[in-house]
Amino acid sequence: MSIDIRRWSDTMARITAQMTATLLIVTCAISFLEIPYPALGDNLALNPSLIATSPWLAFTSLFVHVNIGHLIQYMVALLIFGAFLEEVIGPKKLVLVYFTSGLAGNIASLFFYPNSLSLGASGAIMGLVGCLTALRPKATIWFGADLPVIFFAGIWMVTDLIGLFVPSDIGNAAHLAGFATGVLFGRMWMKKFKVDREIKRRVRRALK
């Protein structure tokens, strides 16, 4: 499959988003520590039987993953959607959406999967997707073709809704809760981050 560099350049340019890059680097560093220290994943994962005495597990679980494939999948999504969203709302609000959505996803996991360990940044990342969907639903992301953000969101939401009724080891409830939290943030900030205001802000920045 050939890659159109001009179409991909806008997405790659967003790599400079500092907070997204920081989250990606920290998450990868902690996840790679699971290779020499396999017990680290279990110690940092969300464990329903320990959450009452170790509430920090609701956050540390966002930094560990099942395997390298699991990590790569979510870090690519973080890079694409997180950097795009950071460009719109800024780093501080990105952190707020990320960790609040991750917490919402883990709370959902406690109710839907009370006998299972939960780990991974899926709820947090789906929160970023939800927020971006609310603020920029028609914005396109190049993935072999120019596709709107709402297309990706729709595919994932349908998949997760179906997954709620199909037993698997995927935390569909966490995805849905994270996405819903992100949408709520996006709706709350919709007036502040209108497209026309963003254009004006970029013009002022370019004229400085």
Separation of alpha carbons 118 and 127, rounded Å: 17
| Residue environment code for 10-22, b if the CB has 16+ CB neighbours within 10 A, otherwise e | ebeebeebebbbe
118 part of the active site: no
- Eight-state DSSP code of residue 16: G
65 part of the active site: no
Q: Considering the candidates 61, 109, 118, 122, report the single residue annotated as catalytic.
A: 122
Answer yes or no: are the C-beta atoms of 193 and 89 closer than 8 Å: yes
Separation of alpha carbons 160 and 176, rounded Å: 7
In sequence order, what are the beta bridge partners of 141? 147
Distances (CA, A) of 93 to 20, 54, 88, 200, 201: 11, 26, 10, 20, 17
Q: Which helix (H) or strand (E) holds 140?
A: strand 140-142
The structure tokens listed for 35 are: 């290779």
The structure tokens listed for 24 are: 């990606």
Active site (catalytic) residues: 122, 175
